Structure 1
Amino acid sequence: MREFRLYAITGEEYHPGRSMLEVMEEAIKGGADIVQLRDKKGTKREILEKAYALRELTARYNVTFIVNDHIDIALACEADGVHLGQDDLPLSEARKLMGKRIIGISTHRIEEARAAEAEGADYIGVGPIFPTKTKEHAKPVTTEYIKQVEREIKIPYVAIGGIKLHNVDDVLAAGARRICAVSEIVGSPDPAETCRAFIRKIEAYTGGDKQ
């Protein structure tokens, strides 16, 4: 998969009165280089319609597009990949359907990270690092988990969960070089500038290079 630094996830509840496409386009213009459609409440038809729209947008900007959970929708709209949780279809079965497309896996402890790497995940999510409303019942894994993954895991990983501009330095100091945010980006009055601010923070640790 193409390298990335800033992973933006949709969250329409955080920007009432503004369209999803408008907000995500601003995020892309600000530097988000991978976009995920995450919709836990819509019907299949509603999610598919959003997926087609985001596929068109991300293709126009040459940005990687991932669909959360729904392999059928990812395939239907020709997304670049799918992101799965620990309770979703096993990675081995997902690979049969997805072929060479990207498969990302959420992990919450090092054993899950090891398993995802061994089974052929293209990247893993590491989190939630901090408390987050998108995963209210999940216990934060803290930056200690980042340090474990940084020591052991060779495939790309992205830190996620409660990450804001005011605490992202702690995440980067722990070793992460790929950051994912939801509310901090899509809930911002200026998503583009928020993304640029995240990129500046990342570049302070990478010297401006993508890892």
Structure 2
Amino acid sequence: MTNDSIPAGELIKQIKAIASEVDFIHIRERSKTASELVDLVKNLLLEGVPKEKLVINDRVDVALLTNIHRVHLPGHSFSPKELRKKFPHLHAGVSVHSIEEAKAAEKNGAEYVMFGHIYATSCKPGLQARGVQLVKKLTSALTIPVVAIGGVTPERVPELKQANVKGIAVMSGIFAHHQPRMMAQAFSEKVKENPYEKAL
């Protein structure tokens, strides 16, 4: 997930570098205008970043203009069910911060929820982390996938897998690192690791 603090030219280079290592690239650039976001997405596509990997945060208009089929909605946004009535080709997930919000998002047609922040993180200074125990309760309460975000490091991935999350989202852990591709590889290796192999 992009962190809205890197100039567009550098951001394109970084995304291009990590694209083969990650399943999705979540474009979350809140300070950019619609026009700047459209240009960013168009340039990513021109640079060969696969369209299928791009997720647009909040800006459904930008997704529609650039023909990207995945959007991610804040918890206070409209319902994914309503969105798909108008645009059946769009896939939508929702950010949530409690079990109640997650259940509501599932009921409203979210294909997955992103839940956080799980661990203490510099992105949310002074805010209490929600912790892995709550993640376990959440994954048990829902039928749709849960993606964990917030303070996730490669070392913490096995613990999250044990909590039955279906994915992790990383912002500063990759985009604030001086070697984003190396970090993306480290996360990818941990995600693909079979937890049972070490017991054999």
Question: What is the TM-score with the length of structure 1 in the denominator?
Answer: 0.81
Contact residue 150 and residue 170 of structure 2 kept, 8 A: yes
Structure 1 residue 10 and structure 2 residue 2: aligned?
yes
Question: Structure 2: how far apart are the matches of 1:62 and 1:90?
Answer: 24
Contact residue 28 and residue 56 of structure 2 kept, 8 A: yes
Which of 91, 109, 115 is matched with 2:104 structurally?
115
Contact residue 126 and residue 145 of structure 1 kept, 8 A: no
**Which residue of structure 1 aligns with residue 28 of structure 2?**
38
Question: Structure 2: how far apart are the matches of 1:167 and 1:126?
Answer: 15
**Which residue of structure 2 aligns with residue 70 of structure 1?**
59
Question: Structure 1: how far apart are the matches of 2:95 and 2:156?
Answer: 21
Structure with the greater alpha carbon radius of gyration = 2
Contact residue 48 and residue 73 of structure 1 kept, 8 A: yes
Identity between Structure 1 and Structure 2 (%): 26
CA 1:156–1:206: 2 relative to 1, 3 Å: farther
Unaligned runs of 5+ in 2: none
Structure 1 residue 175 and structure 2 residue 167: aligned?
no
The C-alpha deviation readout for 1:148-199, integer Å capped at 9, x for no partner, is: 1221222222111121234334323323241110111112222222112112
**Which residue of structure 1 aligns with residue 148 of structure 2?**
159
- Residue type matched to 1:11 in 2? N
**Which residue of structure 1 aligns with residue 139 of structure 2?**
150
Please tell me the root mean square deviation across aligned C-alpha atoms, in Å.
2.6
Q: CA deviation at 1:11?
A: 2.1
The C-alpha deviation readout for 1:48-90, integer Å capped at 9, x for no partner, is: 21122234456x5464211001111111111121101111223
Question: What is the TM-score with the length of structure 2 in the denominator?
Answer: 0.85
Aligned residues: 197
Unaligned runs of 5+ in 1: 1-8
Question: Structure 1: how far apart are the matches of 2:68 and 2:8?
Answer: 27
Structure 1 residue 23 and structure 2 residue 14: aligned?
yes
CA 1:18–1:42: 2 relative to 1, 3 Å: closer
**Which residue of structure 2 aligns with residue 4 of structure 1?**
none
Greater Cα offset, 48-57 or 82-91:
48-57
Contact residue 177 and residue 202 of structure 1 kept, 8 A: no
**Which residue of structure 2 aligns with residue 190 of structure 1?**
179
